[in-house]
Structures are given as structure tokens and as C-alpha cells.
Amino acid sequence: MKRINIKTKLIFFSSILMAVVAVVLSWYFLTSASNLLHNELEKKGIEVVHNLSYTTREGILTKNLFKELNPLIEATMCDKDIAYVAVVDKDGSVLAHSKPEETGKVYKDDLTKRAFLSKKPAYLKETQGIITIGAVVEIGEKGTTPLEMTQEMEQEEKGPIGVILIGVSLKNLHLKMNNILKVSLPITAWLIIIGLVFAFVFSTRLTNPIKSLMNISHLITSGNLDTRFKMVIPRCWKIEKCEKKNCPAYEKSDIPCWYIAETMCRGEVQGTYAKKIGDCQKCEVYKGYVGDELQQLGESFNVMTIALKEARSGLEEKISIATEDLKKTNIELKEKNYEIEAVNKELEAFTYSASHDLKEPLRGIQSFSQFILEDYADKLDDTGRDYLKRLSASANRMKSLIDDLLALSRISRVKNPVTCVDSKKLVKEVLKQIKPIIEEKNAKVEIDDELPFIYCDEVKIKQVFHNLILNAIKYNVQKSPNIEIGIEERLVDGISQSVFFVKDNGIGIEEKYFEEIFGIFKRLHQGNEYGGGTGAGLAIVKRVIIDHGGQIWVQSTHGQGSTFYFSLPGGKEEVRGER
């Protein structure tokens, strides 16, 4: 849907408003004119009835015997606004009528009755474009003519002797209203046209500054801080005659104000730029020249742009300095990295050389111990043979320590590719490798079917499961060790994560050793207990998990088994898939 701009909206609504106002005013004028003409006709009819109520008395008293009512009716009918005239006696008989065929009829309707009851000429009803007005005809307290005085003597009491009914036509009123309508329609049309023009001019003058502000804001957003909102009101130095009475900036060079900043007035540089919008709002020059709210907003934009430009200039300078410092730091880091790489290479070479040099005499000790046991066993007593066996075992243990130390040092140095690995399949491969040990110990291993796909170093994570499962079997005195491998949701550092666990029913660990067991070459038992070992297994596991960005911990009760938990966030989400 196309968006309608504010100018179009203003023109549309202003035009509608002007049209409605013009129509309402025209309607009000026509209604007022109609009511005025209607009231004039009604007033005119009342005056005619009032006059006839006096001039028709003798005719009513004589029952129009001498036809004296006819001239009165004919004279009244000369008025184009009078539709009919009827003179009715007190018995309801029509004595005279503008329509001869009505003469002699008897009126007993409610209209005639209302006329008799009204003491003054009154409006009775309006039907079919005719206003009916009636007035009662009475004999006064003292007759004014001989006939009236004679009638007074004949009547026992005074009262109405008849009624006058006239009809005032609205035809001329309608004609006049039609003429007025013909004149008012063009006037209304012109008012609407003038309203449209006014709406267009008003909308244009209102929206042009808004549009200008919008364009300026876009330019500012794009980084152009040299844009300024154009002044609408001329400044004092742009007026030919710069006088004190009409120039609020007259000789005020010390006031910080946008209106006079760095401009020439009377040959002198005027003012300085205001750095804060609040300064402009307090400035007498600003108050003297400021326009409407849009003008104020525009000037505020100008001041803001100047402030932004100064701030950006300062920020660019700081960024430039920070960039130079960062470049120096990067150079220093590169040099340090080169040094670290060189040291690591030297350390790797030293480790390899040292391990090779250490293994050589160990192999000699082990070989010669075996030769002596095989060739001179019969010449040695039991103590000598025991010493040689201990010497060979110590050499083997020393060799294992060196191998584990090398394995631990290679964990951080050797970087294998990180791939998407099926953890369930990986665990099954580990179980296949240690199958003889599982069968020997009669161990039972349960694997969770919901083990997910994970992003990891497959070789190193396989080593993690290998060491944890072997420890679960190794440190177990049950006839049938039970081991459970699975995954569950747990909070790690306040974040819910999928966490692997390896659970056993072994000997358990006391709480005070929960951290110590992950140290290098840390064993909680004698060297030969629970199959021996160097104590490097859990240290290797922890180093692998840390390298993957995860955590490892243990929950255990002494004598009731242990559960090792570890997380592998790796910066990527786990993926579950079909197997």
C-alpha cells in the first residue's frame, strides 16, 4: 500500500473542512432567509386578518345582505401572497369567500372552532404551501355604528359574531428561495475553491519546513554535518536599514546565538556559535527573531548539527589516537605471538627429546631386569627376585607417567578439526574398544537413545568418554558394575544447557576431593589399588572439556557411586538427528 505524505493529508482534510464549513454556512444562510421570509408572510397575514376583523363587522351583522363583504374580499385578494379569504358567521355559515362556490357552506371543522376560541389573530396551520390564519370578529363594549348599536340592543350579551379565515400562499416565498439558492450556489462553490487554494497554500507552507527538516535529518544520518536549516525570517544584517529599534541583535557581539554567530553587522563580526540549544532559548536575540515552533525546531537542528560536528571532530581525534594505540598493541601482540610460537616449538622439541631420552634408560632398566629374572632367577633368593620385579614395575610406571604427561601436553597444542559428531555412535565405538574389560568385569552399560549430534573434536571427546567409562568400571567393587551414559537439561552459569553424564554404582568420592581428583597425577588410593594408574585420566578429561568451552563436575556419595557431568556448548547448538 502506497504511503500518503503529510502534505496530501493536510490538503485533503483542510479541503474537506473548508467544504463542510462552506456548505454549513450556505445551509444556515438559506434556512435563516427562509425562516425570515416565512415570518414576514405570517406577520403580513395577521395584519390583514386584524384589519378585516374590524371592516367586516357590518357585513357579518347584516349577513352580507347588501354584499358589502365582497368588495373587501376582492381588495384583499389583490395581494399576490393571499390565497383565499373567508368570512364565517358565528353559526359557521360562510357569508363570503374568495371562491364563490364556497359561499353558503357551513364550516364545523376544528380549524374554524380554533379561530372562534382565539382572542387575537393567530396562526392556525400550514398545509400544501398555504398558511391559514384566523381572527374572531367581536362587537366592542360600545358600538361605533348605528347598526352595531342596534345589534347590541338585540343581543343579550356581548361576544363573537363571526370569524375571518385567510390563506397566505408560500409560492412567492419558494420563488424567492430559488432565486437566493441560485445566487448562493456559486458563492458556495467559490468559497470551496478559495478553501482549496487556502488549504494548498497552508499545507505547503507548513510541510515545506517539515520536509526540509526530514531531508536534513537524512543528510545528518548519512554523516553530512555541514547541512543547515534555511532561515525563514530575515536577520538584521539582511535588512537594508539596520537600526536599533528593529534589530534585537544591534551591537550585541558578545551574545552566543545562532542568529548572529560569526556574521557581519555594521562592519563588525557579531556573536559566537551557541554550543547548547538551551543557550539559544535564553538569548534575547533568539527571542526577538524566533518564529513558530517549526522555525525553532529548525534552529535547534542547526545548533545540534554544530554540536555533533564538534563532538565528531573530538571523537575522530580520540579514535585516531586509539587506532594508533591499537596498531602498536597489535604489533606487540604479534611479536609476543611469534615469541610464544617459538617457545612452544622449543618446548615441543624439548618435550619430545626429553621423553625420548627418559624412555631410553627406562627401557634399558626394564630389559636388563627381565634378563636377570629369566637368566639368573635360580641364583637369586626371593628378596632379590622381588627387588627386580619392583624395579621393572617402577620402570613401567615411569614410562606410563611420561606417556600421560606427553598426552596432556598435546591436548592444547594439537588442534583437530571440529565436526558434527553422532555422540551415540561415538560412545558405542568406545565401548567396542574396551569390550574385553567390560566382559571381564561383567559390567552393564546403558546408553540414552536421545544422545545428540554435537560439534566437537571427535578424537578428544572419544578420549573423554574412554577415560570416564574406564574409571566407572575400574573404581567399582560390585559383582556387576552398572554404568549409565545419557544427557539431561541443567543450568550451567544460569543458562539451561544439555549436559552429558556418566553415572556408576562404584565406590564413590568424598565431597572434599571433588576438585582435587581433576589435578594432574592425583590419586586417592595406593598405586596398586583398583588396577593402579598414573592419576592423569581426569586431568586430561578436564583439559579437553575446557578447550571445548565447557565445564565438568562430579556429584557423588561415598560408597554409593558417582556421576560425572560435562557440558559442550562449543558456541554452537546441538543437533538431534535420525539414527
* CB contact at 8 A, 302 and 228: yes
DSSP annotation of 575 reads B
* CB contact at 8 A, 277 and 304: yes
**CB burial of residue 168 (10 Å; 0-12, 13-18, 19+):** buried
Per-chain mean pLDDT for the chain: 76
- Looking at residues 86-107, what average pLDDT do you find? 89
Coil, helix or strand for 85?
A: strand
**Domains of the chain: which residue ranges?**
6-176, 236-329, 417-567
H/E segment holding residue 30: helix 6-55
Q: Between 3.10.450.40, 3.30.70.1450, 3.40.50.10800, 3.30.565.10, what CATH number should domain 417-567 receive?
A: 3.30.565.10
- Looking at residues 325-339, what average pLDDT do you find? 88
Share of the chain above pLDDT 90, in %: 6
- Coarse DSSP helix, strand, coil percentages of the chain, rounded to the nearest 5 percent: 55, 15, 25
Q: Which CATH class is domain 6-176?
A: alpha beta
Listed in sequence order, the residues at least 6 apart from 60 whose beta carbon sits closer than 8 Å to its beta carbon are 69, 87, 89, 95, 137, 161, 162
**Predicted TM-score of the model (pTM):** 0.41
Residue 233 has pLDDT above 80, yes or no: no
Q: Which pLDDT tens digit goes with each residue over 550-562?
A: 888 988 888 888 9
Task: Considering only residues 178 and 397, tell me which one the structure prediction assigns the higher pLDDT.
Answer: 178
pLDDT band at 249 (very low <50, low <70, confident <90, very high): low
Residue 447 has pLDDT above 50, yes or no: yes
Residue 579 has pLDDT above 60, yes or no: no
H/E segment holding residue 13: helix 6-55
Other C-beta atoms closer than 10 Å to the C-beta of 222 total 9
Q: What's the pLDDT score for residue 41?
A: 87
Q: What's the pLDDT score for residue 30?
A: 87
Q: Which pLDDT tens digit goes with each residue over 460-473?
A: 888 889 888 888 88
Pairing of strands 444-447, 482-492: parallel
Q: Do the first three CATH levels of 6-176 and 417-567 match, i.e. the same topology? A: no
- Looking at residues 337-363, what average pLDDT do you find? 68
Q: What's the pLDDT score for residue 402?
A: 67
